[in-house]
Structure 1
Amino acid sequence: MPAQATKDTTINFRTTSETKNWIDRAASLLGTDRTNFIVQTMVERAMEVVEKHNTVTLSDRDRDAFLELLKEDTPNEELRDAARARRELLDD
């Protein structure tokens, strides 16, 4: 079992009584407390957002065009331009 990280910071926020009641009810149904429910839910959502941001989804047409480019022995000018643009973007 992995070691548990030390909790070394605080996040505070205000909400409505109705929202708090919904959170408490959901936490209770899962057999956990409010803090653990909120943290777990927020981390799961944060991971989804990051994953979505880091994932590129191509249409079938774009996927097929990309795969065709991979079959070429030498990069064409458009591919070289794309590589240059990527390098410039990452250098910023």
Structure 2
Amino acid sequence: MPAETTKDTSINIRATSETKRQIDRAACLLGTDRTNFILQTVMERALEVIERHKTVTLSDRDRDTFLELLDEETPNEDLRDAARVRRELLSD
């Protein structure tokens, strides 16, 4: 059973009366209220966006280039530059 979560903040949005009617209708069809419908829908979408940004999709050409670079014995200048930039970003 999920742990109880205290709702400790509010999110305010403005919408047209038509949008509100449609949201209420959809919530009613699912047997829930407006707040729960909005929160559930927005959280599902937020998690999709986050997941999509965690994954890098490469073209066949870029994938092949990446795999070739992994086989190199020593890092090239671009890779050393990328590592330096990463270290700088993480140190801030």
Q: What TM-score range do you get, normalising by the shorter chain?
A: 0.7 to 0.9
In 1: Cα distance, 2:77 partner to 2:68 partner: 15
TM-score normalised by L of structure 1? 0.85
Question: Which runs of 5 or more residues in structure 2 are unaligned?
Answer: none
Amino acid at match of 1:77: E
Q: Percent of pairs identical after alignment?
A: 77
Distance apart, 1:51 and its partner CA: 2.2
| RMSD of aligned Cα (Å) | 1.5
Aligned length: 92
Question: Which runs of 5 or more residues in structure 1 are unaligned?
Answer: none
TM-score normalised by L of structure 2? 0.85
In 2: Cα distance, 1:48 partner to 1:38 partner: 15
Q: Which runs of 4+ in 1 moved over 4 A?
A: none
Q: Show CA shifts across 1:27-77 (max 9, x none).
A: 111111111000001111222222233322211111111111111222222
Cα distance change on mapping 1:81 and 1:33 into 2, 3 Å: same
Question: Once structures 1 and 2 are overlaid, which stretch shifts more, 21-30 or 49-58?
Answer: 49-58
